[in-house]
Amino acid sequence: MNCVKMVAMEDFMSILKCEKICKSFGKKEVLKDVTFEVNEGDILGFIGPNGAGKTTTIKLILGLQKITAGEVTINGFDIKKDFVKAIERVGAIVENPDLYMYLTGRENLKMIARLYHDIDAKRIEEVIAISGLGNRIDDNVSKYSLGMRQRLGIAAALLHRPNLLILDEPTNGLDPEGIRELRDLLTKLAREEKMGILVSSHNLSELESFCNQICIIKNGMIIDKTSLIDLKKEVSNSKYILELDHIDGLKDIIDYSYDEISPTQISINIEREKIPELIKTLIANDYLLYQIVEDKASLEDAFLRKTGGNIID
Amino acid sequence: MINLLKNEITKVIKKKSFLIMVIVMFGYALLTNIIYLTLSNVDEVEFAQNVASTIDDDNLDPETKAYNEALKETYDLAQKYEKSSWQYNYVITYDYDNLETIHLYEASQLFDSKIYNEAKEKHEKIVSLLKEDDWKSVVKIEMDELKEAFEEGDYTKEEYDIKLECLKMRLDQNISYANSYQNDNLINYEESKISLLGYANVDKLDAGDKEFYQERRETYLTSEYALKHNLNITSEISLQSVLMNFFDEFMLMIIIMVFMIAGSIMSNEYNNGTIKLLLVRPYSRIKILLSKYITVLICILIAILIMVIAELLIGGVTLGFSSLSNPALYYNAKLDTLQTYNIFAYLGLNIIGQLPNLIILATLAFAISTIFSNTALAIIMGFVGQFVGSLFSTFATSDIWWIKYIISLNWNWTPYLFKSTPSIEGMSFIFSFVICLIFLLAMIIPTFLIFKHKDIVNV
């Protein structure tokens, strides 16, 4: 509770505030006291397993569904009472990049442009460049792949220069190159245009590379809100993989337990802070160290530990 | 709001189904006009068929035999002339009577009777006039005969006057017996005028008789006007007459197009998920729905316009444009007068008169589309509405007190626009307007309220 009050004092930089929002369909409660906020320059990863309530939360924020209890404030405007003003500077993709299939990419953008008063032809060209669709922009959307639609959807969401961008599962259908481009784009928007970004996903490792905040939701409740660094710290007793020229006699010089993966690789349980010490020891004993990497599965494990056993009911 | 409207219209027009529907409308107009054109080329076969059906059989009684022979002789005589000639038409419609008399009397061996001799004499005269191609002399013979018949008391003074007037008109306006619209006008005029003599006290007629009376008045007034202005109104196949019956011919096509748009405009957005794209714009839901509803109303006009253009173009090419200069005649049963309109003014009044019908059914389809997000259901319910509505208007009688509150009896405003009688007594324009408005609001208000509070669930 104290925390909420403190945030209220820093109102000037808060773009999206969700306060104790609840949603029930009939007697079934699908969201319970969801509270979080997105500030200028934040990229908040909204993570949870399927059916946890990610899309419902986003729909409540966007006014697509009625909030049973609680408040959503965007740029200081209540979404229930001041819908038009609240939604004016929001760009969003919900579930899928839904576009008019029988129109071309450009026609889709033009239709959206008409609904805001300050979008000129130049801006449309700008977002076409962002989408990277090139000449294909004049093809019917029905001919696009899911990845291309995702790119166009993001371009369309950026068209009216929003300061809050809400992307629901934007990595769906994107290839690794596309994900990298999306990451670069979002970090650039957050850094240069001070945009607040909310990105949802069920896949932590995809978001890991570009979120600075993580919010984990399970069974309609927020179970953890933390920065990514903290989350990593939390799982820092996890595993690291070492690649050496050989592993003979390793048992005699290190105190940590490890598993042999191959004649040159071991998986070791070690705290992050202890790694430099380990490296020194290895070098002192004439081992050639090729690489040391954090075992990615461990972050995923931590996430699964937190969210595991989500019951979809 | 204007921009929302622009987007909605773009979405409707750019859809493939819209283009297909326009093609279907043109195709339908083409088919209709080709059928008319084919019908107008069908020859009058009735008479020839009559002749063909007479069988030579010795067992027949003498009277039937005489009839058959009269028919055959008439046919043989007519066959000497072109079918479009006055001779042909005169022989089969008038001279047949003479031949019938001759054969009947011959069969009964009554060669001395006056009637037989007269008929024979007249027939011979006519045969020679047919050869000389002199129909005006035939008219004069008819006049003489008419006078004789009147003097012998076969006709009343009024009947005689009318018949004489018509024969004089043949000479004055140069209307031969050949099959032409003026000939038809004249015959209609004569027949309707004589039949009207039978109605002495019009106010005391019961409902059924009054309908007959009004039909005859209509024939009389229109044929009189057509004769005077040399108008072709009896021939059913002209661009003008098709346009006059525009909604009888093309209502179905217009309704299909309107239902297709009204029934899908909202449910398509739900089904494709684009509703989410639409609702996160800085417009209230009411405005978004209103823009869609206005689009539906505009599309009604577009559908009518496309159908009119299709018929004008295709009907013009197949049936010719010339009939468009003829005035459209409307018999006003209430005032018992003939009203004349420019064909486009007439069509315009009909379109305005049909608009409430189209608007109410389109609103029904739109409401179902919005509330249930089911295109098929919306379109089907639209057709059910139209079907049930027309059932009610067909069987409506003023015996049932509540019948005038049925919407389908109120949604056609054409009678009011032509200042004529409504379908049920006691109804007025204000009454129909209020009933239509109540039905409309009863559909629109819940639709808007439901949409305003609707949760957009997963698709």
Residue with the bigger pLDDT between A313 and B280: it is: B280
For residue range B66-118, list pLDDT tens digits in order.
888 888 888 888 888 887 788 888 888 888 888 888 888 887 777 777 788 88
Q: How far is CA A180 from the centre of its chain?
A: 13
CATH topology of domain A2-233: Rossmann fold (3.40.50)
Confidence tier at A34 by pLDDT (50, 70, 90): confident
* Chain B environment of A84 (Cβ under 8 Å): 282-284
For residue range B200-213, list pLDDT tens digits in order.
777 777 777 887 88
For residue range A219-250, list pLDDT tens digits in order.
888 877 777 667 666 665 567 888 888 888 88
DSSP track, A40-109:
TT-EEEEE--TTSSHHHHHHHHTTSS--SEEEEEETTEETTTSHHHHHTTEEEE-SS----TTSBHHHHH
Residue A272 near residue A266 (C-beta atoms within 8 A): no
Please give the C-alpha separations between residue B152 and each of A88, B95, B114, B117, B146, in angstroms, as whole numbers. 97, 21, 14, 17, 10
Using DSSP bridges, classify how beta strands A196-201 and A239-244 pair: parallel, antiparallel or unpaired: unpaired
CB contact under 8 A, B276 and A83: no
Of the segments B19-23, B47-51, B147-151, B398-402, which one has the largest average pLDDT value? Answer: B19-23
Residue A141 near residue A103 (C-beta atoms within 8 A): yes
What is the per-residue pLDDT for A8?
45
User: Distance between CA A310 and CA B227 in Å, rounded?
Assistant: 89
User: Distance between CA A231 and CA A280 in Å, rounded?
Assistant: 27
- pLDDT tops 60 at residue A311: no
Secondary structure class of B432 (helix, strand, coil): helix
Residue B208 near residue B290 (C-beta atoms within 8 A): no
Residue A5 near residue A131 (C-beta atoms within 8 A): no
The alpha carbons of chain A give a radius of gyration, in whole angstroms, of 23
CB contact under 8 A, B7 and A107: no
CB contact under 8 A, A87 and B272: no
For residue range B316-364, list pLDDT tens digits in order.
898 888 888 888 888 887 778 888 888 899 999 999 999 999 999 999 9
Calculate the average pLDDT of chain A. 83
Q: Chain B neighbours among A 81-100 (CB < 8 Å)?
A: 83-85, 87-88, 90, 92, 94-96, 98-100
User: Distance between CA B146 and CA B160 in Å, rounded?
Assistant: 7
B339: left (phi over 0), alpha (psi -120 to 50) or beta: beta
Domain ranges of chain B: 2-40+239-452, 44-82+84-133
User: Distance between CA B385 and CA B360 in Å, rounded?
Assistant: 9
pLDDT, mean of residues A282-299? 80
Residue with the bigger pLDDT between A115 and A173: it is: A115
Domain ranges of chain A: 2-233, 239-294
What is the per-residue pLDDT for A293?
84
Q: Which of B3, B280, B281 to mutate to test the interface with A (most CBs of A within 10 A)?
A: B280
Burial grade of A44 (CB within 10 A; 0-12, 13-18, 19 or more): buried
What is the per-residue pLDDT for B377?
93
Residue A102 near residue A86 (C-beta atoms within 8 A): no
CB contact under 8 A, B272 and A115: no
Closest residue to A65, CB basis, from B277, B282, B455: B455
**For residue A242, what are the β-bridge partners?**
A266, A292
Q: How far is CA B86 from the centre of its chain?
A: 29
Cα-based torsion angle of the residue sequence A175, A180, A184, A190 in order, rounded to the nearest 10 degrees:
70
Calculate the average pLDDT of chain B. 85
Structure tokens at B263: 């029934």
Q: Chain B neighbours among A 163-222 (CB < 8 Å)?
A: none
Structure tokens at B182: 């003026």
Closest residue to A84, CB basis, from B3, B273, B284: B284
Give me the total of CB pairs closer than 8 Å, taking one residue from chain A and one from chain B.
74
DSSP track, B81-143:
S-TTSHHHHHIIIIIHHHHHHHHHHHHTT-TT-HHHHHHHHHHHHHHHHHHHT-HHHHHHHHH
Confidence tier at B45 by pLDDT (50, 70, 90): low
- Cα(first)–Cα(last) distance of chain A, in Å? 29
Residue A59 near residue A79 (C-beta atoms within 8 A): no
CA atoms within 13 A on the CB side of B78: 23
Burial grade of A50 (CB within 10 A; 0-12, 13-18, 19 or more): exposed
User: Distance between CA B284 and CA B291 in Å, rounded?
Assistant: 11
Helix pair angle (B285-319, B343-372), 10° resolution: 140
Confidence tier at B416 by pLDDT (50, 70, 90): confident
Given CB atoms, is B452 within the 8 Å cutoff of chain A?
no
CATH topology of domain A239-294: Alpha-Beta Plaits (3.30.70)
Closest residue to B6, CB basis, from A64, A88, A114: A114
Residue A47 near residue A200 (C-beta atoms within 8 A): yes
User: Distance between CA A239 and CA A224 in Å, rounded?
Assistant: 22
Percentage of residues of chain A with pLDDT beyond 90:
19
- pLDDT tops 70 at residue A12: no
Q: Chain A neighbours among B 22-61 (CB < 8 Å)?
A: none
What is the per-residue pLDDT for A301?
65
- pLDDT tops 90 at residue B288: yes
pLDDT, mean of residues B157-177? 85
pLDDT, mean of residues A84-112? 90
User: Distance between CA A210 and CA A215 in Å, rounded?
Assistant: 14
Given CB atoms, is B457 within the 8 Å cutoff of chain A?
yes
pLDDT, mean of residues B239-264? 91
Give the lowest-confidence range in B209-223, B290-304, B419-433. B419-433
Give the dihedral sign, CA A235/A238/A243/A244: positive
Closest residue to B3, CB basis, from A96, A100, A114: A114
* Chain B environment of A82 (Cβ under 8 Å): none
CB contact under 8 A, B457 and A87: no
DSSP track, A146-200:
HHHHHHHHHHHHHTT--SEEEEESTTTT--HHHHHHHHHHHHHHHHHS--EEEEE
What is the per-residue pLDDT for B1?
84
- pLDDT tops 70 at residue B30: yes
- pLDDT tops 80 at residue A161: yes
For residue range A122-153, list pLDDT tens digits in order.
999 999 998 888 889 999 999 998 888 888 99
Closest residue to A98, CB basis, from B16, B276, B283: B276
Residue with the bigger pLDDT between A171 and B381: it is: B381
Q: Chain A neighbours among B 220-279 (CB < 8 Å)?
A: 272-274, 276-277, 279
CB contact under 8 A, A87 and B280: yes
Closest residue to A115, CB basis, from B274, B283, B456: B283
What is the per-residue pLDDT for B26?
95
- pLDDT tops 60 at residue A176: yes
Percentage of residues of chain B with pLDDT beyond 90:
31
- pLDDT tops 50 at residue A1: no
> Over the range B422-455, which residues count as b (16 or more CB within 10 Å of their CB) and which as e?
bbbeebeeebbeebbeebbeebbeebbeebeebe
Residue A175 distance to chain B (closest CA, Å):
24
Confidence tier at A313 by pLDDT (50, 70, 90): very low
- pLDDT tops 60 at residue A309: no
Given CB atoms, is A150 within the 8 Å cutoff of chain B?
no
Residue B15 near residue A102 (C-beta atoms within 8 A): yes
The alpha carbons of chain B give a radius of gyration, in whole angstroms, of 30
Given CB atoms, is B20 within the 8 Å cutoff of chain A?
no
User: Which residue is closest to B278 within chain A, CA to CA?
Assistant: A112
Given CB atoms, is B400 within the 8 Å cutoff of chain A?
no
**For residue A44, what are the β-bridge partners?**
A198, A213
- pLDDT tops 50 at residue B379: yes
CB atoms within 10 A of CB B378: 26
User: Distance between CA B237 and CA B106 in Å, rounded?
Assistant: 44
User: Distance between CA B365 and CA B262 in Å, rounded?
Assistant: 6
Structure tokens at B424: 């049920």
Closest residue to A95, CB basis, from B14, B453, B458: B458
pLDDT, mean of residues A82-104? 90
